[in-house]
Structure 1
Amino acid sequence: MRFAVDTGGTFTDLVVENDDGSCSMFKARTTPEDPVAGVLDALGVAAEAFGMPREELLSRGGILIHGTTHAINAIITGRTAKTAFITTEGHGDMLVLREGGRADTFNFTQKFPEPYVPRRLTFEVPERIYADGSIIKPLETDAVLAIIEALKEKQVEAVGVCLLWSIANSDHEEQIAALFEEHLPDVPYTLSHRLNPAIREFRRASSVVVDASLKPMMGRYMRSLEGRLRDAGFNGRTLVLTSQAGVIDAADAAESPIHIVNSGPSMAPVAGRFFAGQDSGISDAIIADTGGTTYDVSIVRKGRIPTSRETWIGPRYRGVMIGLPWIDVRSVGAGGGSIAWIDSGGLLHVGPQSAGSDPGPVAYGRGGTQPTVTDASLMLGHIDPDFFLGGSMSLDLDAAENAIRTVVAEPLGLDVASASDAIITIATESMVQAINDITVNQGIDPQEVVLVGGGGAAGLNSVRIARRLGCRQLIIPEVGAALSAAGALMSDLKAEYYGAFFATTADFDHEGSQRVLDGLGERCREFAEGPGANSFGSRTEFRVSARYATQVWDIEVPLRGNSLATQADVDGFIEDFHAAHKALFSFADPASPIEIIGWTAQVSCSFSETPALRLSSNEESGEPRARKTYFGDTGWIESKVFPFGYIEPGVEIEGPAIIENSFTTIVVDPGAVARRKPSGTLVIDV
């Protein structure tokens, strides 16, 4: 038995993979003040459904996979550890100057962003290494010892170290580490050549200080998670979702917490890729995960999930740069809990503010006063107030109606139904623009792909979104309400290793390049034989970061094999680079030489031979019924309401219709046709 838990802004999703391979889904309210309590609550709900004590359920589990927003929330809210930064003498402004980019080039009213680590906690150490690894100036040990005393005086809680060209020669960073171990043993630190040996100092430095700043808090969190699970009866292996669509051991997450900053959202594309291929046969897909707080969008291109090093928390150029590859996920503040409000000019907005789980939407009856997307869907008849979360939670229809009337309808001169429909329309437009940012702006035509909807609120307006985009089909998987948690059960134990070595196709260094690849491959083999020893199998993939000569930015291109030892290998890479560049930027330049500046090896170890596909018998069935629903084009109209479990494979359901279970409600707008596949997935022709 395996457990996958995804802690969202409103609900904590749990998917239990039973011993026979079937799945069961459960939800519990997220507890922001203590996320682990929400995990245990969800496990308690599951235990009750299985008719056994929570301790017994947990004792049957071999693996628990956890997705958390704890790290990213700490960065956003500034609740990270007091962190110092150590760098080469003369380069103390590395975090201040950044890379010089501006999103709004001529807007000089914007203040320059503050560095992640303040200048008063930045220390310069006398030393210097050349790009070829030769030492110009040896490290001054006395200066490091003086810095350590200053760190003690300032009560620093973590330290990030990034010296110039430590990626070519790590000797000085290792000397500093040895001094820390001896003279500052209780303060965690991160070294740039270990974490992110990549060219470009700011990105390397930023990743180092972010990682270090998270270590004290995430160390406590991971120890609390493992300890409380153990106390509750779980004796299996605790894994944590990473930003690269994989999992790592909780202890490793505590050691390198930067890898789990974007933990939860990275799993939705893993599940989306599987269901798109299985149920539509289309290798290009848009994955949209609608939670209570955010709408997370990702893509699948030709069966691959793109990653990006252009990862910022907050506005581009002004936010916090991670500097490590992430699954390319774009998020907007639009979800089931997004708040509707009127600005001073009388315009309606939805989000980015969210009611979250506490107090939640007005209809929850927990003190919320601002109308949300959930309240609007309730007023449109799309959500059954007596069957929310399978009837375990009743919604206050009158309170929702009063909030929408007071805050939205009366100021706009609309009736409550029209105002509610306007709220859904505005939310839909925000979601469509998020999809355009990741598709149209990258040369992908939404009309040529399939939209995969996931998350508890996905079904409320996914047909509207698909129509607005012109998508070929909409897919709602059977486990779509917990898409990220389901993706966790499909994910592999992963590790990525990086190398920095310059090579150009104008005069390719076969020997040097192969030396880097061999070294990365050996580290992958060690991982597969260590943490991945009990897996069903492992595979290693090599990628390079490359660019045309004189270009500033690079793109990542997979290598066809694990070798660039022959000219035929290099020719294959050149062909692939031109194709990738043309796909991204609509042009290629075959006459220009290509420069490789970074090397990546990723090892993946599978825990399951086949991914979780079907829900177990906890899926509701019953007879269809009918209720009045409102749509902008038709007004109030009677719609049939189908329990998800009632619909047999191949049966077509014509809209308007509502398909619901304990975890989600799927609105089939007039003119759309839904049918269920043998896999359990709902496919909607919009």
Structure 2
Amino acid sequence: MRFATDTGGTFTDLVVEDDDGTITLHKAPTTPSDPVAGVLDALRVAADARGLTLAGMLARGDSFIHGTTHAINAIIQGRTARTALIVTTGHRDMLLFREGGRTEPFNHAHAYPQPYVPRALTFEVPERIMAGGHVVTALDEAATAQVLDAIARADVEAIAVALLWSTVNPVHENRIGEMIAARFPDMPYSLSHSVNPTLREFRRASSAAIDASLKPLMGAYLGSLEARLADAGFAGRVMVLTSAGGMVDAREVAAQPISAINSGPSMAPVAGRHYARREGGFDSAIIADTGGTTYDISIIADGRVAMTRDLWIGEPYRGHLAGYPSVEVKSVGAGGGSIARVDASGLLHVGPQSAGAMPGPVCYQRGGTLPTVTDACVVLGYLDPDFFLGGKMKLDALGARRAIEAHIAAPLGVSLEEAAWSIVDLATEAMVQAIQDLVVNQGIDPARAVLIGGGGAAGLNSTFIARRLGCPRLLIPETGAAMSAAGAMMSDITAEFAATVYSNTARFDSDAVSASVAGLAARAEDFIARSGRPGGTQFIAEARYEGQAWEIDVPLPKADFSSPGAIAEFRARFEAEHLRLFTIVDPASEIELIGLRARVQCSARDGESDFKLMMEQTDASPRGSRSVYFAGAGRVETPVWRLDALAPDRMFDGPALIESDFTTIVVDPAARFWRSAPGAILIEERPL
């Protein structure tokens, strides 16, 4: 038996896989002050559904996979450790200067962003290594010892080290690490060449600083998770999801917590890729995971999950750059808990403020007083107040109506239904704009992609989103209400290793590049051996045209640079990727290779990769009808289907509501839908 959890802002999702491959979904409210409590609550729900005690169910488990936003929330809320940064003499302002770039170049109302580590906690040591790796100025150990004395007086909880060109020659960073360990035996520290061996010093320093600042917090959190699971009866392996779309042992994440900043959201595209292939063979997909707090978007392009090394915490250029390889996920503050308000000018706004898990939407009856998207969906008839979470939670429809009437309808001078629809419509528009920004960057045509809706609130407006984008088909997987947790079940044990190596196609240094490939391959093989699972390695080149400022990732079927023919193939692959992203190539320019990465994947489970959701089959007829408001049609009496009851591969016309214990899917009058044999709902526009 295997367990996978994803701790969201409002609910904690749990997927349980039994030994026969069948899976079940469960949800429990997240406990923001103690996320592990929400995990244990979800496990108790699953145990109760099986007629077992929590200890009895956990004793059957061999692995527990955990996705968490604990790390990124700590950064956003300023709860990380007080951290010192050690840099090369003359580069104390590395985090202050950044890499340039502004979201709004001529908007001077925004203050210049503060560095992640303040200047007062940034210390210089005399040393210098050049780009070729040779030492110009040896590390002054006496001066370094004095710096460590100053750090001791600064009362810090962690130390980061980021020296120039340490990715080429880490000898000085390693020596400082030894001195830190000797001077502060219990002090966590991070060395930039180990955390993120990238060419650019700002993002390397930023990665090291963020990683070090998270070590005390994440070490305690993951230690508590393992201890409390063990106390509850679990004796298996605890794994944590990483930003790169895989998982590793919890202890490895505690040792390098920056790897888990985008932990939970990175799994939605893993699940999305699986369902896109299964339900129509789509190589391009837009995955939208709608939670209570955020709307997370990711992309599948040519069958590959889109990745990025520009992972920002907060707004781009105004927040902090993690710079760590991650699944590219764009988040906007538009979820079920997004708060609607009318400003002094009479304009309606939805989000980014969220009611979250506490107090939550007004209809949750937990003290919320401001209307949200969920409240609007209750007023429109999309949600059944008596069947939320399968009837486990009753919604206050009257409270939702009163809140929208007082805060939205009355100030705007419109009817209650018009106000509720305007809330949903504005949230939908924010989601559409966020998707369009991302698909343009990835060179994806929505008309050739499938939109995959995940998250408990995905079904409420995904039909409207697909139509505005021009996507020919909307797919709501049978596990869509717990998309990230389902993706965790499908994910592999992964790691990524990187090396900085420079060469140019005009005078390619095959020996140096091949040596880097061999070193990465050895590290990958060592990881596979330690994982105890079968695995493979894919190499990725970081390359650019000569003179370009930024490089792109070029996947390589094999990392062979040993002959002119192999180098010509590398050029062809680079130009194909450049053409896909930017629609142009420049055959006259040489290509610079600036780094290599090896991505390792080890299978985490035995048997087939598909899963079968356990469903209770019921009578194949609607379970009644409900009055539902649709824009342009007004109130329409709409049949309500139980998802389990839909006959597979039979076409139905909208309008319709499709309900399960975890989600509601809204199909408007202009659409039609059917259920696939495995249980996914597919929706497309009805032919005229």
For the criterion TM > 0.5, the same-fold answer is yes
How has the CA–CA distance of structure 1 residues 212 and 632 changed in structure 2, closer, same or farther, with 3 Å as cutoff? same
How has the CA–CA distance of structure 1 residues 588 and 443 changed in structure 2, closer, same or farther, with 3 Å as cutoff? same
**3-state DSSP class of the match of 1:501?**
strand
Q: Which amino acid aligns with 1:573?
A: F
Q: Residue deviations 1:526-581, cap 9 Å, x none? A: 00001x21x2x201000011000011100000112132112222111111111111
Q: Residue deviations 1:300-322, cap 9 Å, x none? A: 00100111112211121121001
Alpha-carbon distance in structure 2 between the residues aligned to 1:11 and 1:255: 28
One of 570, 575, 582 as aligned partner of 2:572: 575
Alpha-carbon distance in structure 2 between the residues aligned to 1:301 and 1:32: 35
2:441–2:581 Cα contact (<8 Å) kept? no
Residue of structure 1 equivalent to 2:663: 664
Residue of structure 2 equivalent to 1:45: 45
Show the 5 A alignment for 1:195-234.
195-234=195-234
Residue of structure 2 equivalent to 1:523: 523
**3-state DSSP class of the match of 2:506?**
helix
Q: CA deviation at 1:619?
A: 7.1
Residue of structure 2 equivalent to 1:564: 561
Residue of structure 2 equivalent to 1:428: 428
Q: CA deviation at 1:621?
A: 6.4
Alpha-carbon distance in structure 2 between the residues aligned to 1:556 and 1:279: 29
2:638–2:655 Cα contact (<8 Å) kept? yes
**3-state DSSP class of the match of 2:92?**
coil
Q: Which amino acid aligns with 1:339?
A: I
Q: CA RMSD in A?
A: 1.1
Show the 5 A alignment for 1:541-556.
541-556=538-553
One of 590, 594, 602 as aligned partner of 2:591: 594
Alpha-carbon distance in structure 2 between the residues aligned to 1:108 and 1:362: 38
Q: Residue deviations 1:191-227, cap 9 Å, x none? A: 0111111111001000000000000000000100000
Q: CA deviation at 1:109?
A: 3.5
Percentage of matched positions with identical amino acids: 54
**3-state DSSP class of the match of 2:110?**
coil
1:616 partnered with 2:611: no
**3-state DSSP class of the match of 1:561?**
coil
Alpha-carbon distance in structure 1 between the residues aligned to 2:544 and 2:122: 33
Alpha-carbon distance in structure 2 between the residues aligned to 1:441 and 1:632: 32
**3-state DSSP class of the match of 2:304?**
coil
Alpha-carbon distance in structure 1 between the residues aligned to 2:303 and 2:152: 51
How has the CA–CA distance of structure 1 residues 511 and 621 changed in structure 2, closer, same or farther, with 3 Å as cutoff? farther
Residue of structure 2 equivalent to 1:256: 256
Q: CA deviation at 1:443?
A: 2.6
**3-state DSSP class of the match of 1:316?**
coil
Alpha-carbon distance in structure 1 between the residues aligned to 2:672 and 2:388: 24
Q: Residue deviations 1:360-393, cap 9 Å, x none? A: 1100111100111111111111100000000000
How has the CA–CA distance of structure 1 residues 10 and 618 changed in structure 2, closer, same or farther, with 3 Å as cutoff? farther
Tell me which moved more, 306-315 or 463-472.
306-315
TM-score, normalization by structure 2 = 0.98
Alpha-carbon distance in structure 2 between the residues aligned to 1:491 and 1:529: 18
Residue of structure 2 equivalent to 1:607: 604
Q: Which amino acid aligns with 2:16?
A: V
Residue of structure 2 equivalent to 1:460: 460
One of 536, 540, 550 as aligned partner of 1:539: 536
Residue of structure 2 equivalent to 1:165: 165
Tell me which moved more, 618-627 or 249-258.
618-627
1:493 partnered with 2:490: no
Q: Which amino acid aligns with 1:560?
A: P
Q: CA deviation at 1:653?
A: 2.0
Show the 5 A alignment for 1:338-349.
338-349=338-349
Residue of structure 2 equivalent to 1:401: 401
2:310–2:323 Cα contact (<8 Å) kept? yes
Alpha-carbon distance in structure 1 between the residues aligned to 2:169 and 2:178: 16
Q: Which amino acid aligns with 2:447?
A: Q
Alpha-carbon distance in structure 2 between the residues aligned to 1:372 and 1:539: 46
Residue of structure 1 equivalent to 2:484: 484
Following TM superposition, the consecutive aligned residue runs of length 4 or more in structure 1 with deviations greater than 4 angstroms are: 618-623
**3-state DSSP class of the match of 1:13?**
strand
Paired residues, number: 683
Alpha-carbon distance in structure 1 between the residues aligned to 2:471 and 2:572: 31
**3-state DSSP class of the match of 1:507?**
coil
Q: CA deviation at 1:186?
A: 1.1
Q: Which amino acid aligns with 1:642?
A: W
2:625–2:640 Cα contact (<8 Å) kept? yes
Residue of structure 2 equivalent to 1:649: 648
Alpha-carbon distance in structure 2 between the residues aligned to 1:68 and 1:501: 34
Alpha-carbon distance in structure 1 between the residues aligned to 2:552 and 2:621: 53
Residue of structure 1 equivalent to 2:107: 107
Alpha-carbon distance in structure 1 between the residues aligned to 2:379 and 2:450: 30
Q: Which amino acid aligns with 2:669?
A: P
Alpha-carbon distance in structure 2 between the residues aligned to 1:139 and 1:545: 30
Alpha-carbon distance in structure 1 between the residues aligned to 2:649 and 2:70: 42
How has the CA–CA distance of structure 1 residues 342 and 18 changed in structure 2, closer, same or farther, with 3 Å as cutoff? same
Q: Which amino acid aligns with 2:173?
A: E
Tell me which moved more, 616-625 or 318-327.
616-625
Alpha-carbon distance in structure 1 between the residues aligned to 2:440 and 2:551: 20
Q: Which amino acid aligns with 2:312?
A: W
How has the CA–CA distance of structure 1 residues 619 and 151 changed in structure 2, closer, same or farther, with 3 Å as cutoff? farther
Alpha-carbon distance in structure 2 between the residues aligned to 1:109 and 1:24: 50
Residue of structure 1 equivalent to 2:24: 24
Alpha-carbon distance in structure 2 between the residues aligned to 1:372 and 1:299: 27
Q: CA deviation at 1:623?
A: 4.5
**3-state DSSP class of the match of 1:506?**
coil
Q: CA deviation at 1:149?
A: 1.5
Q: CA deviation at 1:612?
A: 4.3
**3-state DSSP class of the match of 2:613?**
coil
2:128–2:136 Cα contact (<8 Å) kept? yes
Could you tell me which runs of 5 or more consecutive residues in structure 1 were left unpaired when the two chains were aligned: none
2:301–2:442 Cα contact (<8 Å) kept? no
Alpha-carbon distance in structure 2 between the residues aligned to 1:483 and 1:564: 40
Alpha-carbon distance in structure 2 between the residues aligned to 1:6 and 1:618: 24
Residue of structure 2 equivalent to 1:69: 69
Tell me which moved more, 556-565 or 484-493.
556-565
Q: CA deviation at 1:441?
A: 3.9
Alpha-carbon distance in structure 2 between the residues aligned to 1:133 and 1:579: 32
**3-state DSSP class of the match of 2:223?**
helix
1:446–1:469 Cα contact (<8 Å) kept? yes
Q: Which amino acid aligns with 1:558?
A: P
TM-score, normalization by structure 1 = 0.98
